[in-house]
């Protein structure tokens, strides 16, 4: 079974898993509210696909991050850790952009009508008032998790470096240095 071995690995995987669960839940709720809000005639215009596509991209990207974090800890890949931190920052930026895209799409859909004067959405339902706090929460959660992931990537980078020396270094000085590191790590 693939599972983290150290506390730092558990923290890294835990952060990404919690982020994935929270954001996937929020994005699913946004999507369900959107589908309840719009009328079937809305799919005649391309702007109607903005919210579903943006939600799908977020769901897939943060789910991918959670799976990738387990893999990066399993193979102790330092480059992959840093890549995940950078990738999560990019996902946070994309989630921030999603807020403005969904806002614009919501305004346009709420004002739109088809050729028979049937509205694109049920304007008695306050969709944006429901979706707005959830989108802000997605941005906040992904940004906070990005900071945590970058900090944990730094410490995991050091931990993985020492584990590499432990297995491949025949130099006795390096082995002694590694043992001192382990002692200080356990004492501290």
Running along the chain, 188 residues long, what does each successive block of 10 average in pLDDT? 76 94 97 93 90 95 92 80 91 95 94 88 91 96 95 84 61 73 67
- Give Cα separations from 134 to 31, 98, 110, 169 (angstroms): 11, 12, 19, 50
- In the prediction, which pLDDT does 2 show? 65
Q: Where are the domains of the chain?
A: 7-150
CB contact set of 90 (below 8 Å; sequence gap of 6+): none
- Give Cα separations from 54 to 13, 79, 147, 184 (angstroms): 25, 28, 23, 47
Prediction pTM value: 0.81
Q: Where do the H-state alpha helices sit in the chain?
A: 7-37, 50-74, 78-111, 127-168, 172-187
- In the prediction, which pLDDT does 49 show? 94
- In the prediction, which pLDDT does 1 show? 44
């Amino acid at each position: 079974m693939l599972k983290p071995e150290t506390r730092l690995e558990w923290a890294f995987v835990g952060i990404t898993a919690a982020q994935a669960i929270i954001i996937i839940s929020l994005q699913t709720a946004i999507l369900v509210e959107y589908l309840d809000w719009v009328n079937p005639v809305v799919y005649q215009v391309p702007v109607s696909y903005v919210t579903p596509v943006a939600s799908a991209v977020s769901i897939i990207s943060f789910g991918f991050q959670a799976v990738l974090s387990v893999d990066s800890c399993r193979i102790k890949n330092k480059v992959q850790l840093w890549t995940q931190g950078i990738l999560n920052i990019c996902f946070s930026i994309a989630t921030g952009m999603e807020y403005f895209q969904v806002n614009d799409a919501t305004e346009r859909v709420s004002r739109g009508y088809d050729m028979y004067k049937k509205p694109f959405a049920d304007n008695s339902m306050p969709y944006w008032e429901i979706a707005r706090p959830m989108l802000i929460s997605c941005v906040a959660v992904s940004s906070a998790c990005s900071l945590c992931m970058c900090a944990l990537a730094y410490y995991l980078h050091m931990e993985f470096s020492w584990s590499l020396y432990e297995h491949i270094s025949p130099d006795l000085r390096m082995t002694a240095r590694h043992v001192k590191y382990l002692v200080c790590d356990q004492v501290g």
